[in-house]
Structure 1
Protein backbone atom coordinates (compact mmCIF):
# COMPACT_ATOMS: atom_id res chain seq x y z
CA UNK A 1 0.00 0.00 0.00
CA UNK A 2 1.39 3.41 -0.89
CA UNK A 3 0.34 7.04 -1.19
CA UNK A 4 1.07 9.28 -4.17
CA UNK A 5 0.57 13.03 -3.66
CA UNK A 6 0.44 15.04 -6.91
CA UNK A 7 0.74 18.81 -6.47
CA UNK A 8 -0.18 20.90 -9.51
CA UNK A 9 1.38 24.25 -8.67
CA UNK A 10 -0.90 27.24 -9.18
CA UNK A 11 -4.07 25.40 -10.27
CA UNK A 12 -7.11 27.54 -9.41
CA UNK A 13 -10.38 25.87 -8.31
CA UNK A 14 -12.18 26.59 -11.59
CA UNK A 15 -9.29 25.09 -13.58
CA UNK A 16 -9.71 21.58 -12.18
CA UNK A 17 -12.36 21.05 -14.87
CA UNK A 18 -9.51 20.97 -17.40
CA UNK A 19 -8.48 17.60 -15.96
CA UNK A 20 -11.46 15.25 -16.52
CA UNK A 21 -9.76 12.38 -14.68
CA UNK A 22 -10.43 14.29 -11.45
CA UNK A 23 -14.17 13.73 -11.92
CA UNK A 24 -13.62 10.05 -11.07
CA UNK A 25 -12.18 10.79 -7.63
CA UNK A 26 -13.74 8.90 -4.72
CA UNK A 27 -13.42 11.79 -2.32
CA UNK A 28 -13.01 15.55 -2.74
CA UNK A 29 -12.93 18.69 -0.65
CA UNK A 30 -11.57 22.26 -0.74
CA UNK A 31 -9.14 23.71 1.76
CA UNK A 32 -6.48 26.43 1.91
CA UNK A 33 -2.97 25.13 2.55
CA UNK A 34 -1.70 28.63 3.41
CA UNK A 35 -1.27 29.16 7.18
CA UNK A 36 -2.97 32.23 8.62
CA UNK A 37 -0.82 35.32 8.30
CA UNK A 38 1.53 33.83 5.70
CA UNK A 39 1.95 34.71 2.05
CA UNK A 40 1.01 31.75 -0.17
CA UNK A 41 3.97 30.02 -1.77
CA UNK A 42 5.05 26.46 -2.43
CA UNK A 43 7.32 26.32 0.62
CA UNK A 44 4.76 27.10 3.31
CA UNK A 45 1.87 25.35 1.54
CA UNK A 46 3.63 22.04 0.89
CA UNK A 47 5.19 21.91 4.35
CA UNK A 48 1.74 22.57 5.84
CA UNK A 49 0.27 19.72 3.78
CA UNK A 50 2.95 17.41 5.16
CA UNK A 51 2.18 18.32 8.76
CA UNK A 52 4.84 20.93 9.56
CA UNK A 53 3.53 23.50 12.04
CA UNK A 54 3.40 27.14 10.94
CA UNK A 55 5.99 28.15 13.55
CA UNK A 56 8.46 25.69 12.00
CA UNK A 57 8.07 26.91 8.41
CA UNK A 58 11.19 28.83 7.27
CA UNK A 59 10.58 32.49 6.53
CA UNK A 60 12.57 32.32 3.28
CA UNK A 61 13.22 29.77 0.57
CA UNK A 62 16.74 30.41 -0.68
CA UNK A 63 18.72 28.26 1.79
CA UNK A 64 16.59 25.23 0.88
CA UNK A 65 16.98 26.01 -2.82
CA UNK A 66 20.75 25.90 -2.38
CA UNK A 67 20.40 22.55 -0.62
CA UNK A 68 18.71 21.20 -3.75
CA UNK A 69 21.56 22.17 -6.07
CA UNK A 70 24.31 19.99 -4.65
CA UNK A 71 26.16 23.18 -3.67
CA UNK A 72 24.57 23.70 -0.25
CA UNK A 73 25.24 26.73 1.89
CA UNK A 74 26.78 26.38 5.33
CA UNK A 75 24.53 26.74 8.35
CA UNK A 76 25.90 30.20 9.10
CA UNK A 77 25.48 31.53 5.55
CA UNK A 78 22.87 33.91 4.19
CA UNK A 79 21.27 32.93 0.88
CA UNK A 80 19.05 35.06 -1.37
CA UNK A 81 17.29 34.42 -4.65
CA UNK A 82 18.37 36.91 -7.31
CA UNK A 83 16.04 37.03 -10.31
CA UNK A 84 16.97 38.84 -13.47
CA UNK A 85 14.23 41.44 -13.94
CA UNK A 86 13.20 43.93 -16.61
CA UNK A 87 13.15 47.29 -14.81
CA UNK A 88 12.20 49.48 -17.77
CA UNK A 89 10.23 52.57 -16.81
CA UNK A 90 11.18 52.22 -13.16
CA UNK A 91 8.70 49.40 -12.59
CA UNK A 92 9.07 45.70 -11.84
CA UNK A 93 8.65 43.95 -15.16
CA UNK A 94 8.87 40.33 -16.27
CA UNK A 95 11.74 38.04 -15.38
CA UNK A 96 14.64 37.85 -17.83
CA UNK A 97 18.20 36.58 -18.05
CA UNK A 98 20.88 38.87 -16.62
CA UNK A 99 24.67 38.26 -16.59
CA UNK A 100 26.10 37.71 -13.12
CA UNK A 101 28.81 40.12 -11.92
CA UNK A 102 31.96 38.81 -10.20
CA UNK A 103 31.71 38.77 -6.41
CA UNK A 104 35.31 38.23 -5.33
CA UNK A 105 35.47 37.31 -1.66
CA UNK A 106 31.99 38.71 -0.97
CA UNK A 107 30.17 35.49 -1.84
CA UNK A 108 29.30 33.15 -4.67
CA UNK A 109 26.61 32.65 -7.28
CA UNK A 110 24.65 29.48 -7.93
CA UNK A 111 22.96 29.87 -11.34
CA UNK A 112 19.67 27.94 -11.48
CA UNK A 113 19.06 28.43 -15.19
CA UNK A 114 17.30 31.17 -17.10
CA UNK A 115 16.46 34.17 -14.93
CA UNK A 116 16.98 32.35 -11.61
CA UNK A 117 20.09 32.60 -9.44
CA UNK A 118 21.09 32.14 -5.83
CA UNK A 119 23.45 34.47 -3.97
CA UNK A 120 25.38 32.88 -1.08
CA UNK A 121 26.96 35.28 1.43
CA UNK A 122 29.21 33.32 3.82
CA UNK A 123 28.79 33.91 7.53
CA UNK A 124 25.98 36.47 7.24
CA UNK A 125 23.08 34.25 8.25
CA UNK A 126 22.65 36.21 11.47
CA UNK A 127 21.60 39.25 9.41
CA UNK A 128 18.55 37.54 7.90
CA UNK A 129 16.03 38.88 10.40
CA UNK A 130 16.97 42.48 9.56
CA UNK A 131 16.33 42.14 5.83
CA UNK A 132 13.10 43.07 4.04
CA UNK A 133 12.58 42.16 0.38
CA UNK A 134 9.64 41.72 -1.98
CA UNK A 135 8.95 38.72 -4.21
CA UNK A 136 9.02 40.02 -7.81
CA UNK A 137 6.22 37.75 -9.05
CA UNK A 138 3.90 39.21 -6.41
CA UNK A 139 4.71 42.83 -7.26
CA UNK A 140 4.86 43.18 -11.03
CA UNK A 141 4.25 46.67 -12.46
CA UNK A 142 4.86 48.32 -9.09
CA UNK A 143 7.43 51.11 -8.71
CA UNK A 144 10.95 49.83 -8.08
CA UNK A 145 11.87 52.68 -5.72
CA UNK A 146 9.10 51.60 -3.33
CA UNK A 147 10.28 47.98 -3.24
CA UNK A 148 14.05 48.20 -2.88
CA UNK A 149 15.57 45.78 -0.36
CA UNK A 150 16.34 47.07 3.11
CA UNK A 151 18.70 45.61 5.69
CA UNK A 152 19.67 46.41 9.25
CA UNK A 153 23.30 46.27 8.17
CA UNK A 154 24.01 49.39 6.03
CA UNK A 155 26.79 47.77 3.97
CA UNK A 156 24.56 44.81 3.12
CA UNK A 157 21.68 47.10 2.16
CA UNK A 158 23.95 49.10 -0.17
CA UNK A 159 25.25 45.90 -1.78
CA UNK A 160 21.75 44.51 -2.40
CA UNK A 161 20.52 47.78 -3.88
CA UNK A 162 23.55 47.95 -6.18
CA UNK A 163 22.61 44.53 -7.56
CA UNK A 164 19.29 46.06 -8.60
CA UNK A 165 20.58 49.38 -9.94
CA UNK A 166 23.69 48.15 -11.76
CA UNK A 167 22.82 44.64 -12.87
CA UNK A 168 19.03 44.27 -12.93
CA UNK A 169 19.22 41.48 -10.33
CA UNK A 170 16.38 41.44 -7.79
CA UNK A 171 17.24 39.96 -4.34
CA UNK A 172 14.43 38.27 -2.41
CA UNK A 173 13.55 35.10 -0.51
CA UNK A 174 16.42 35.58 1.94
CA UNK A 175 17.04 32.66 4.25
CA UNK A 176 19.47 31.22 6.73
CA UNK A 177 19.47 27.67 8.02
CA UNK A 178 16.25 26.71 9.83
CA UNK A 179 15.78 23.18 11.20
CA UNK A 180 12.86 21.14 9.90
CA UNK A 181 11.43 17.88 11.26
CA UNK A 182 12.24 14.79 9.24
CA UNK A 183 9.58 12.89 7.34
CA UNK A 184 9.78 10.15 9.96
CA UNK A 185 9.16 12.68 12.74
CA UNK A 186 6.09 13.88 10.82
CA UNK A 187 4.75 10.33 10.69
CA UNK A 188 5.34 9.96 6.95
CA UNK A 189 6.44 6.69 5.42
CA UNK A 190 9.86 6.54 3.72
CA UNK A 191 9.46 8.33 0.45
CA UNK A 192 10.65 10.37 -2.50
CA UNK A 193 10.01 13.72 -4.13
CA UNK A 194 9.73 13.84 -7.94
CA UNK A 195 10.29 17.42 -9.05
CA UNK A 196 12.53 19.99 -10.73
CA UNK A 197 11.63 23.14 -8.79
CA UNK A 198 14.51 23.86 -6.41
CA UNK A 199 12.51 24.86 -3.34
CA UNK A 200 10.49 21.63 -3.50
CA UNK A 201 13.60 19.52 -3.99
CA UNK A 202 15.28 21.36 -1.13
CA UNK A 203 12.45 20.83 1.33
CA UNK A 204 12.42 17.17 0.29
CA UNK A 205 16.10 16.82 1.12
CA UNK A 206 15.61 18.66 4.41
CA UNK A 207 12.83 16.22 5.34
CA UNK A 208 15.17 13.32 4.44
CA UNK A 209 13.12 12.21 1.44
CA UNK A 210 14.88 10.98 -1.68
CA UNK A 211 14.92 13.59 -4.43
CA UNK A 212 14.35 12.41 -8.02
CA UNK A 213 14.77 14.88 -10.91
CA UNK A 214 13.47 13.36 -14.17
CA UNK A 215 15.45 14.02 -17.35
CA UNK A 216 13.92 16.78 -19.43
CA UNK A 217 12.37 18.51 -16.42
CA UNK A 218 12.40 22.30 -16.68
CA UNK A 219 9.83 23.49 -14.06
CA UNK A 220 8.21 25.27 -17.02
CA UNK A 221 5.50 24.62 -19.58
CA UNK A 222 8.01 22.87 -21.86
CA UNK A 223 8.85 20.20 -19.27
CA UNK A 224 8.96 16.57 -20.41
CA UNK A 225 5.86 15.09 -18.77
CA UNK A 226 6.43 11.64 -20.24
CA UNK A 227 9.78 11.38 -18.45
CA UNK A 228 8.20 12.67 -15.25
CA UNK A 229 5.50 10.00 -15.57
CA UNK A 230 8.10 7.24 -15.94
CA UNK A 231 10.00 8.52 -12.93
CA UNK A 232 6.82 8.84 -10.84
CA UNK A 233 5.65 5.32 -11.62
CA UNK A 234 9.06 3.87 -10.81
CA UNK A 235 9.06 5.77 -7.52
CA UNK A 236 5.55 4.51 -6.72
CA UNK A 237 6.80 0.94 -7.14
CA UNK A 238 9.75 1.64 -4.84
CA UNK A 239 8.58 3.95 -2.04
CA UNK A 240 5.51 3.89 0.26
CA UNK A 241 5.13 7.68 -0.13
CA UNK A 242 5.76 9.74 -3.29
CA UNK A 243 5.29 13.50 -3.68
CA UNK A 244 5.14 14.75 -7.28
CA UNK A 245 5.33 18.46 -8.06
CA UNK A 246 4.48 19.96 -11.47
CA UNK A 247 5.25 23.66 -11.78
CA UNK A 248 4.55 24.99 -15.30
CA UNK A 249 1.00 26.24 -14.72
CA UNK A 250 2.26 28.54 -11.97
CA UNK A 251 4.87 30.08 -14.30
CA UNK A 252 2.30 30.66 -17.05
CA UNK A 253 -0.04 32.36 -14.58
CA UNK A 254 2.76 34.66 -13.38
CA UNK A 255 3.07 35.76 -17.01
CA UNK A 256 -0.73 36.28 -17.03
CA UNK A 257 -0.92 33.94 -20.00
CA UNK A 258 -4.24 32.16 -19.54
CA UNK A 259 -4.04 30.39 -22.89
CA UNK A 260 -0.62 28.94 -22.06
CA UNK A 261 -1.73 27.87 -18.59
CA UNK A 262 -4.86 26.20 -19.96
CA UNK A 263 -2.88 24.34 -22.60
CA UNK A 264 -0.38 23.11 -20.01
CA UNK A 265 -3.08 21.86 -17.64
CA UNK A 266 -4.62 19.97 -20.55
CA UNK A 267 -1.20 18.45 -21.22
CA UNK A 268 -1.02 17.34 -17.58
CA UNK A 269 -4.35 15.55 -17.99
CA UNK A 270 -3.40 13.91 -21.27
CA UNK A 271 0.28 13.11 -20.73
CA UNK A 272 0.52 12.63 -16.97
CA UNK A 273 -2.58 12.37 -14.77
CA UNK A 274 -4.73 10.02 -16.86
CA UNK A 275 -1.90 7.52 -17.49
CA UNK A 276 -0.68 7.82 -13.88
CA UNK A 277 -4.10 7.03 -12.44
CA UNK A 278 -4.36 3.98 -14.67
CA UNK A 279 -0.90 2.57 -13.98
CA UNK A 280 -0.28 2.95 -10.24
CA UNK A 281 0.41 -0.25 -8.29
CA UNK A 282 -2.62 -1.97 -6.71
CA UNK A 283 -3.80 -0.56 -3.37
CA UNK A 284 -2.32 2.85 -4.15
CA UNK A 285 -3.98 6.03 -2.93
CA UNK A 286 -3.65 8.98 -5.32
CA UNK A 287 -4.19 12.49 -3.95
CA UNK A 288 -4.27 15.44 -6.38
CA UNK A 289 -4.27 19.05 -5.19
CA UNK A 290 -2.65 22.46 -5.69
CA UNK A 291 -0.29 24.02 -3.20
CA UNK A 292 -1.93 27.39 -3.84
CA UNK A 293 -3.67 29.06 -6.72
CA UNK A 294 -1.97 31.48 -9.11
CA UNK A 295 -4.37 33.94 -10.73
CA UNK A 296 -3.85 34.73 -14.43
CA UNK A 297 -5.66 38.05 -13.96
CA UNK A 298 -3.11 39.39 -11.46
CA UNK A 299 -0.11 37.10 -11.92
CA UNK A 300 -0.06 36.59 -8.15
CA UNK A 301 -0.35 33.64 -5.80
CA UNK A 302 -3.78 33.16 -4.24
CA UNK A 303 -4.34 31.94 -0.68
CA UNK A 304 -7.93 30.75 -1.05
CA UNK A 305 -9.24 27.20 -0.75
CA UNK A 306 -8.01 24.85 -3.48
CA UNK A 307 -9.59 21.50 -4.38
CA UNK A 308 -8.23 18.14 -3.27
CA UNK A 309 -9.19 14.91 -5.05
CA UNK A 310 -8.58 11.43 -3.61
CA UNK A 311 -8.67 8.15 -5.51
CA UNK A 312 -9.05 4.89 -3.51
CA UNK A 313 -8.90 6.59 -0.11
CA UNK A 314 -7.51 4.74 2.88
CA UNK A 315 -8.60 5.14 6.44
CA UNK A 316 -5.54 7.33 7.10
CA UNK A 317 -6.46 9.76 4.31
CA UNK A 318 -9.98 10.03 5.70
CA UNK A 319 -8.53 10.86 9.13
CA UNK A 320 -6.32 13.52 7.55
CA UNK A 321 -9.38 15.13 5.95
CA UNK A 322 -11.29 15.11 9.23
CA UNK A 323 -8.45 17.03 10.91
CA UNK A 324 -8.57 19.92 8.39
Structure 2
Protein backbone atom coordinates (compact mmCIF):
# COMPACT_ATOMS: atom_id res chain seq x y z
CA UNK A 1 0.00 0.00 0.00
CA UNK A 2 1.30 3.45 -0.91
CA UNK A 3 0.61 6.34 1.41
CA UNK A 4 1.86 9.81 2.25
CA UNK A 5 1.12 12.67 4.59
CA UNK A 6 2.43 15.23 2.10
CA UNK A 7 0.57 14.94 -1.17
CA UNK A 8 -2.02 12.74 -2.77
CA UNK A 9 -2.37 11.90 -6.43
CA UNK A 10 -5.84 10.40 -6.67
CA UNK A 11 -6.95 8.56 -9.81
CA UNK A 12 -10.02 10.37 -11.16
CA UNK A 13 -13.45 8.82 -10.71
CA UNK A 14 -14.26 9.91 -14.24
CA UNK A 15 -11.71 10.05 -17.09
CA UNK A 16 -11.87 13.85 -17.20
CA UNK A 17 -12.00 14.55 -13.45
CA UNK A 18 -8.49 15.84 -12.93
CA UNK A 19 -9.42 18.02 -9.97
CA UNK A 20 -8.69 15.13 -7.58
CA UNK A 21 -4.97 15.59 -8.23
CA UNK A 22 -3.25 17.81 -5.71
CA UNK A 23 0.02 19.37 -6.81
CA UNK A 24 1.94 20.63 -3.81
CA UNK A 25 4.00 23.83 -3.87
CA UNK A 26 6.52 25.09 -1.37
CA UNK A 27 6.59 28.66 -0.04
CA UNK A 28 8.00 29.98 -3.33
CA UNK A 29 5.39 28.03 -5.35
CA UNK A 30 8.08 25.81 -6.86
CA UNK A 31 6.83 22.77 -8.72
CA UNK A 32 9.92 20.70 -8.13
CA UNK A 33 13.03 20.48 -6.00
CA UNK A 34 16.36 21.07 -7.70
CA UNK A 35 19.45 21.05 -5.53
CA UNK A 36 21.07 24.42 -6.00
CA UNK A 37 24.64 25.26 -6.92
CA UNK A 38 27.52 24.80 -4.51
CA UNK A 39 25.65 22.21 -2.48
CA UNK A 40 22.71 24.47 -1.61
CA UNK A 41 19.07 23.57 -2.11
CA UNK A 42 16.52 25.59 -4.06
CA UNK A 43 13.55 24.39 -2.04
CA UNK A 44 12.76 24.00 1.62
CA UNK A 45 12.58 20.70 3.41
CA UNK A 46 9.25 21.37 5.08
CA UNK A 47 7.79 17.90 5.48
CA UNK A 48 7.42 16.12 8.77
CA UNK A 49 9.92 13.52 9.95
CA UNK A 50 7.20 10.88 9.76
CA UNK A 51 6.39 11.79 6.17
CA UNK A 52 10.00 11.14 5.20
CA UNK A 53 9.42 7.45 5.73
CA UNK A 54 6.14 7.38 3.86
CA UNK A 55 5.79 7.03 0.12
CA UNK A 56 3.40 7.90 -2.65
CA UNK A 57 2.14 5.60 -5.34
CA UNK A 58 2.11 7.04 -8.87
CA UNK A 59 0.17 4.69 -11.18
CA UNK A 60 2.27 5.92 -14.10
CA UNK A 61 1.48 3.22 -16.57
CA UNK A 62 -1.88 1.52 -16.54
CA UNK A 63 -1.20 0.13 -20.01
CA UNK A 64 -0.08 -3.46 -20.24
CA UNK A 65 -0.31 -4.03 -16.51
CA UNK A 66 2.92 -2.17 -15.72
CA UNK A 67 3.52 -1.83 -11.97
CA UNK A 68 2.89 1.45 -10.19
CA UNK A 69 5.85 3.70 -9.49
CA UNK A 70 6.47 4.32 -5.79
CA UNK A 71 8.13 7.63 -5.00
CA UNK A 72 9.02 9.02 -1.58
CA UNK A 73 7.82 12.58 -0.93
CA UNK A 74 11.49 13.33 -0.27
CA UNK A 75 12.54 12.20 -3.71
CA UNK A 76 14.46 15.23 -5.07
CA UNK A 77 12.08 15.42 -8.04
CA UNK A 78 8.89 14.57 -6.15
CA UNK A 79 6.86 17.64 -7.15
CA UNK A 80 8.12 17.50 -10.71
CA UNK A 81 7.02 13.86 -10.93
CA UNK A 82 3.61 14.78 -9.52
CA UNK A 83 3.25 17.46 -12.20
CA UNK A 84 4.18 15.01 -14.93
CA UNK A 85 1.65 12.55 -13.55
CA UNK A 86 -1.03 15.24 -13.75
CA UNK A 87 -0.21 15.86 -17.42
CA UNK A 88 -0.19 12.14 -18.18
CA UNK A 89 -3.64 11.77 -16.64
CA UNK A 90 -4.84 14.78 -18.61
CA UNK A 91 -3.56 13.20 -21.82
CA UNK A 92 -5.48 10.01 -21.08
CA UNK A 93 -8.57 12.13 -20.44
CA UNK A 94 -8.23 13.85 -23.83
CA UNK A 95 -7.40 17.30 -22.47
CA UNK A 96 -3.69 17.22 -23.32
CA UNK A 97 -2.28 15.90 -26.60
CA UNK A 98 1.01 13.91 -26.75
CA UNK A 99 2.77 16.92 -28.27
CA UNK A 100 1.91 18.80 -25.08
CA UNK A 101 4.10 16.44 -23.07
CA UNK A 102 7.07 17.36 -25.26
CA UNK A 103 6.33 21.06 -24.80
CA UNK A 104 6.20 20.61 -21.03
CA UNK A 105 9.57 18.85 -20.99
CA UNK A 106 11.12 21.71 -22.93
CA UNK A 107 9.68 24.22 -20.47
CA UNK A 108 10.87 22.23 -17.47
CA UNK A 109 14.41 22.37 -18.85
CA UNK A 110 14.25 26.17 -18.78
CA UNK A 111 12.81 26.07 -15.27
CA UNK A 112 15.96 24.22 -14.15
CA UNK A 113 18.08 27.22 -15.10
CA UNK A 114 15.77 29.52 -13.16
CA UNK A 115 16.56 27.41 -10.11
CA UNK A 116 12.86 26.49 -10.20
CA UNK A 117 11.86 29.69 -8.47
CA UNK A 118 10.35 33.05 -9.33
CA UNK A 119 13.17 35.50 -10.02
CA UNK A 120 13.07 39.33 -9.83
CA UNK A 121 12.47 39.84 -13.56
CA UNK A 122 9.36 37.64 -13.38
CA UNK A 123 8.11 39.54 -10.33
CA UNK A 124 8.53 42.86 -12.16
CA UNK A 125 6.65 41.51 -15.17
CA UNK A 126 3.90 40.19 -12.91
CA UNK A 127 3.32 43.67 -11.47
CA UNK A 128 3.18 45.17 -14.97
CA UNK A 129 0.76 42.44 -16.07
CA UNK A 130 -1.49 43.12 -13.08
CA UNK A 131 -1.48 46.82 -13.97
CA UNK A 132 -2.52 45.99 -17.55
CA UNK A 133 -5.36 43.80 -16.33
CA UNK A 134 -6.54 46.42 -13.85
CA UNK A 135 -6.75 49.09 -16.56
CA UNK A 136 -8.19 46.84 -19.29
CA UNK A 137 -11.74 47.26 -20.58
CA UNK A 138 -12.13 43.71 -21.90
CA UNK A 139 -9.45 41.35 -20.54
CA UNK A 140 -9.61 37.69 -21.60
CA UNK A 141 -7.74 34.62 -20.36
CA UNK A 142 -6.79 32.24 -23.18
CA UNK A 143 -6.40 28.58 -22.18
CA UNK A 144 -5.00 25.54 -23.97
CA UNK A 145 -4.80 21.93 -22.83
CA UNK A 146 -1.51 22.13 -20.94
CA UNK A 147 -2.58 25.28 -19.11
CA UNK A 148 -5.87 23.70 -18.08
CA UNK A 149 -4.12 20.56 -16.82
CA UNK A 150 -1.29 22.33 -15.01
CA UNK A 151 -3.12 25.30 -13.51
CA UNK A 152 -6.84 24.90 -14.16
CA UNK A 153 -8.01 25.85 -10.68
CA UNK A 154 -5.57 28.77 -10.54
CA UNK A 155 -6.77 30.00 -13.95
CA UNK A 156 -10.38 29.90 -12.78
CA UNK A 157 -9.48 31.78 -9.59
CA UNK A 158 -7.68 34.45 -11.63
CA UNK A 159 -10.58 34.74 -14.07
CA UNK A 160 -13.03 35.29 -11.22
CA UNK A 161 -10.74 37.78 -9.49
CA UNK A 162 -10.29 39.97 -12.58
CA UNK A 163 -13.83 39.43 -13.95
CA UNK A 164 -12.46 38.18 -17.25
CA UNK A 165 -13.86 35.31 -19.33
CA UNK A 166 -11.86 32.21 -20.16
CA UNK A 167 -11.58 31.26 -23.82
CA UNK A 168 -10.35 27.88 -25.03
CA UNK A 169 -7.87 28.13 -27.88
CA UNK A 170 -6.13 25.04 -29.24
CA UNK A 171 -3.56 24.20 -31.89
CA UNK A 172 -4.72 20.56 -32.05
CA UNK A 173 -8.38 21.46 -32.09
CA UNK A 174 -11.28 19.02 -32.00
CA UNK A 175 -14.82 19.59 -30.81
CA UNK A 176 -14.47 16.81 -28.25
CA UNK A 177 -11.28 18.26 -26.78
CA UNK A 178 -12.79 21.75 -26.57
CA UNK A 179 -15.76 20.39 -24.67
CA UNK A 180 -13.61 18.32 -22.31
CA UNK A 181 -11.51 21.34 -21.36
CA UNK A 182 -14.60 23.54 -20.95
CA UNK A 183 -16.32 20.93 -18.78
CA UNK A 184 -13.23 20.55 -16.61
CA UNK A 185 -12.89 24.31 -16.07
CA UNK A 186 -16.58 24.59 -15.22
CA UNK A 187 -16.21 21.87 -12.60
CA UNK A 188 -13.45 23.98 -11.09
CA UNK A 189 -15.84 26.93 -10.79
CA UNK A 190 -15.76 28.80 -14.10
CA UNK A 191 -19.20 30.20 -14.89
CA UNK A 192 -18.72 30.35 -18.66
CA UNK A 193 -16.04 29.15 -21.06
CA UNK A 194 -15.90 30.77 -24.49
CA UNK A 195 -14.48 29.60 -27.81
CA UNK A 196 -16.28 26.27 -28.02
CA UNK A 197 -17.41 24.93 -31.40
CA UNK A 198 -19.20 27.37 -33.66
CA UNK A 199 -18.84 30.12 -31.05
CA UNK A 200 -15.24 30.55 -32.26
CA UNK A 201 -16.47 32.23 -35.43
CA UNK A 202 -13.85 34.97 -35.80
CA UNK A 203 -10.41 34.50 -37.32
CA UNK A 204 -7.13 36.24 -36.55
CA UNK A 205 -5.35 37.28 -39.71
CA UNK A 206 -1.93 35.83 -40.44
CA UNK A 207 -2.34 32.49 -38.64
CA UNK A 208 -2.57 29.27 -40.64
CA UNK A 209 -3.38 26.93 -37.73
CA UNK A 210 -6.65 26.35 -35.87
CA UNK A 211 -5.41 28.85 -33.30
CA UNK A 212 -6.65 31.59 -35.62
CA UNK A 213 -10.22 30.93 -34.44
CA UNK A 214 -11.55 33.22 -31.71
CA UNK A 215 -14.85 33.95 -30.03
CA UNK A 216 -16.18 37.45 -30.85
CA UNK A 217 -17.45 37.71 -27.26
CA UNK A 218 -13.97 36.98 -25.91
CA UNK A 219 -10.63 37.45 -27.65
CA UNK A 220 -12.44 39.03 -30.60
CA UNK A 221 -13.26 42.14 -28.54
CA UNK A 222 -10.46 41.92 -25.99
CA UNK A 223 -8.00 44.74 -25.43
CA UNK A 224 -5.76 42.66 -23.13
CA UNK A 225 -5.21 38.91 -23.58
CA UNK A 226 -3.38 36.62 -21.16
CA UNK A 227 -1.78 33.78 -23.14
CA UNK A 228 -0.01 31.18 -20.99
CA UNK A 229 2.05 28.57 -22.90
CA UNK A 230 1.30 30.15 -26.27
CA UNK A 231 2.47 29.80 -29.88
CA UNK A 232 4.69 32.58 -31.20
CA UNK A 233 2.70 33.20 -34.38
CA UNK A 234 -0.49 33.84 -32.42
CA UNK A 235 1.26 36.15 -29.97
CA UNK A 236 2.60 38.14 -32.92
CA UNK A 237 -0.81 38.24 -34.63
CA UNK A 238 -2.62 39.40 -31.48
CA UNK A 239 -0.05 42.17 -31.06
CA UNK A 240 -0.49 43.21 -34.71
CA UNK A 241 -4.23 43.49 -34.05
CA UNK A 242 -3.49 46.12 -31.42
CA UNK A 243 -4.14 43.95 -28.37
CA UNK A 244 -1.95 44.06 -25.29
CA UNK A 245 -0.55 40.57 -24.80
CA UNK A 246 0.57 39.09 -21.48
CA UNK A 247 2.62 35.94 -22.00
CA UNK A 248 3.72 33.32 -19.50
CA UNK A 249 6.70 31.53 -21.01
CA UNK A 250 9.74 29.91 -19.41
CA UNK A 251 11.82 30.66 -22.52
CA UNK A 252 12.86 34.33 -22.68
CA UNK A 253 14.17 33.78 -26.22
CA UNK A 254 10.90 32.54 -27.71
CA UNK A 255 8.88 34.46 -30.29
CA UNK A 256 6.02 34.54 -27.80
CA UNK A 257 8.15 36.25 -25.16
CA UNK A 258 9.53 38.71 -27.71
CA UNK A 259 6.16 39.58 -29.24
CA UNK A 260 4.24 40.10 -26.00
CA UNK A 261 3.66 43.43 -24.28
CA UNK A 262 4.56 41.79 -20.96
CA UNK A 263 6.31 38.42 -20.68
CA UNK A 264 6.43 36.62 -17.35
CA UNK A 265 9.40 34.24 -17.53
CA UNK A 266 8.22 31.74 -14.97
CA UNK A 267 6.48 28.41 -14.54
CA UNK A 268 2.74 28.77 -15.12
CA UNK A 269 2.03 26.96 -11.85
CA UNK A 270 3.84 29.72 -9.95
CA UNK A 271 2.95 32.58 -12.27
CA UNK A 272 -0.85 32.39 -12.21
CA UNK A 273 -1.24 32.51 -8.39
CA UNK A 274 1.39 35.26 -8.23
CA UNK A 275 -0.53 37.28 -10.82
CA UNK A 276 -3.77 36.84 -8.88
CA UNK A 277 -2.03 38.00 -5.70
CA UNK A 278 -0.53 41.03 -7.46
CA UNK A 279 -3.92 41.97 -8.93
CA UNK A 280 -5.60 41.83 -5.53
CA UNK A 281 -2.84 43.86 -3.86
CA UNK A 282 -2.77 46.53 -6.57
CA UNK A 283 -6.47 47.04 -7.24
CA UNK A 284 -6.71 49.99 -4.83
CA UNK A 285 -3.92 51.88 -6.60
CA UNK A 286 -4.93 55.08 -8.43
CA UNK A 287 -5.62 54.47 -12.09
CA UNK A 288 -3.00 56.95 -13.28
CA UNK A 289 -0.33 55.10 -11.31
CA UNK A 290 -1.42 51.77 -12.81
CA UNK A 291 -1.37 53.23 -16.32
CA UNK A 292 2.11 54.62 -15.75
CA UNK A 293 3.36 51.29 -14.42
CA UNK A 294 2.00 49.48 -17.49
CA UNK A 295 3.22 52.03 -20.04
CA UNK A 296 6.72 52.37 -18.59
CA UNK A 297 7.38 48.64 -18.52
CA UNK A 298 10.06 47.72 -21.08
CA UNK A 299 9.49 44.09 -22.01
CA UNK A 300 12.67 43.66 -24.04
CA UNK A 301 14.81 45.08 -21.26
CA UNK A 302 13.09 42.86 -18.71
CA UNK A 303 13.65 39.79 -20.89
CA UNK A 304 17.35 40.68 -21.02
CA UNK A 305 17.28 40.85 -17.23
CA UNK A 306 15.67 37.40 -17.07
CA UNK A 307 18.46 36.01 -19.26
CA UNK A 308 21.08 37.60 -17.00
CA UNK A 309 19.41 36.01 -13.97
CA UNK A 310 19.61 32.62 -15.67
CA UNK A 311 23.29 33.17 -16.44
CA UNK A 312 23.97 34.22 -12.87
CA UNK A 313 22.29 31.07 -11.58
CA UNK A 314 24.32 28.86 -13.92
CA UNK A 315 27.57 30.54 -12.88
CA UNK A 316 26.92 29.28 -9.38
CA UNK A 317 27.50 25.76 -10.68
CA UNK A 318 30.92 26.52 -12.18
TM range (shorter): 0.3 to 0.5
TM-score (norm 1): 0.32
Greater fraction strand: 1
| Bigger relative CO (Cα 8 Å, ≥ 6 apart) | 1
TM-score (norm 2): 0.33
